[in-house]
Amino acid sequence: MSGLDDVVGTHEIITPDDMEALGARMGRMLRAGDLVVLTGPLGAGKTTLTRGIAAGLGVRGPVQSPTFVIARTHPSLVGGAPLVHADAYRLGSAAELDDLDVDLAGSVVVVEWGRGMVDGLVDVWWEVELDREWHGHGVDDACGTTAHEAELDADAPRLVTITRRP
């Protein structure tokens, strides 16, 4: 396991470009065998961060939301490890993720919506939690949605917290 140790902690990410830049920094530090779990609400920036990771790794794009496929493999353009980008949103369990037979040892694996999905699959992984920076009071509007949810897609700073697990 190599290190995201240099980026462990909480980062304030102002723009989508900053999110990609953080991902690129992570991508340059990741090696085959590393697994990264991205957690955060719809539109938090998980795919944007993954796009940066792909750039930092030097793998073939484009990185898109894997809506119709559960995992997509991006081969390296620089003789390094491929990136496996998985979306666990529609997976029911860790067993189903295991069933994908991803080459964990030979790839860098990034799993969106993967919290609770990788326990038992690997001994050590990196958890990245993304959320909109929020200074309001979470008051519901007439439709019952909080301003927090309603504005998540808007350009707004995100807080990104990187932790080593378990």
Ligand X SMILES: Nc1ncnc2c1ncn2[C@@H]1O[C@H](COP(=O)(O)OP(=O)(O)OP(=O)(O)O)[C@@H](O)[C@H]1O
Picked from Mg ion, ligand X, none, the partner binding residue 19 (CB below 5 to 8 A depending on kind) is ligand X
Beta bridge pairs of residue 86 = 71, 111
Complex with Mg ion: residue 46 or 81, whichever CB lies closer: 46
Contact positions with Mg ion (CB under 5 A) in 18-77: 46-47, 65
Task: Name, in order, each residue with C-beta under 8 angstroms of 20's C-beta and a sequence gap of 6 or more.
Answer: 48, 49, 51, 52, 55
Residue 124, contacted partner among Mg ion, ligand X, none, CB below 5-8 A by kind: none
Q: Which does 158 bind (CB under 5 to 8 A by kind): Mg ion, ligand X, none?
A: ligand X
**CB of 94 closer than 8 Å to CB of 118:** yes
Least gap, CB of 46 to ligand X (angstroms): 3
Give the 3-state DSSP-derived string for 80-120, with helices as H, strands as E and coil as C: CCCEEEEECCCCCCHHHHHHCCCCCCCCEEEEECCCCCCEC
Instruction: Choose among Mg ion, ligand X, none what residue 48 binds, the Cβ cut-off being 5 to 8 Å by kind.
Output: ligand X
- Write the CB contacts of 44 (distance below 8 Å, at least 6 apart in sequence): 130, 131, 132, 152, 158
Footprint on residues 76-135 left by ligand X (CB under 6 A): 112
69-108 residues near Mg ion, rule: CB under 5 A = none
- Cβ count near 165 (within 10 Å): 14
Which CB sits closer to ligand X, 19 or 97? 19
Which chain residues interact with ligand X by CB under 6 A? 13-16, 19, 40, 42-48, 65, 112, 153, 155-158
Which chain residues interact with Mg ion by CB under 5 A? 46-47, 65
